[in-house]
Amino acid sequence: MLKHTLTGHDKPVMMVAWSPDDCQLLTCGMEEVIRRWDVESGKCLHVYEKSGIGLISCGWFPDGKHILSGLTDHNFCLWDLDGKEVDCWKGQRSSKTSDFAVSNDGKLIISMNRESTIRLFDRETKQERLIEEDNTITSFSLSEDGDFLLVNLISEAIHLWNIRNCPIRVNRYAGHKRSRFVIRSCFGGSEQAFIASGSEDSQVW
């Protein structure tokens, strides 16, 4: 049953993100603006934009009080809910960021900047570490404790990285199939001790 139709974007909507309490929704138009919506009423609560710069990704901070976006000028921007810019920064090797994750304490921002590179950016020290893969990265998933990163590659491999200090690849998984679509894998089970992945052969691994 259709509850709301959210209208207002002028360009294709590239990303949608639920708030931590599931009461609000962020939508990001392609190189356009971010809109924040009330789920119950369908009302647009705020529009986030920067003059002359397009926004290409959106996400919530774990506290539910700030939102983060990647910009077309290769920067990150952090706003409070009222639209006040809290911080804006650029990594040393950053390029257009289309996907990212934030650790539960809000200190580490993980972004996929280039086809085979993931950037780990520490907001407090302003330092960055890189994960370099040999193949194109299609998606990644961060564990709840922020210690591990699961990286899906176009080569049909999944790599598990320990990112607690210096990033180290600790395991490799294979068997699932991927040729046309983005396959997203995830952590789960007791203490997130299991890894699951979809597959284009209609199986779950």
Cα-Cα end-to-end distance for the chain? 32
- Averaged over 50-55, what is the pLDDT? 83
Q: How far apart are CA 56 and CA 33, in angstroms?
A: 8
Integer Cα distance of 141 and 149 in angstroms:
6
pLDDT-based confidence at residue 87 (cuts at 50, 70, 90):
confident
Q: Give CA–CA dist 21/12, Å, rounded.
A: 26
Q: Is a pLDDT exceeding 90 seen at residue 98?
A: no
Q: Minimal CA–CA distance to 68: which of 51, 80, 50? A: 80
pLDDT in tens, 179-201: 887 888 999 998 899 999 989 98
- Residue 66 pLDDT more than 50? yes
What is the Cα–Cα distance from 151 to 158, expressed in whole angstroms?
6
Angle at 158 between CA 153 and CA 164, to 5 degrees: 105
| CB-CB neighbours of 139 under 10 Å | 16
d(CA 155, CA 173): 11
**Model pLDDT, residue 94:** 47
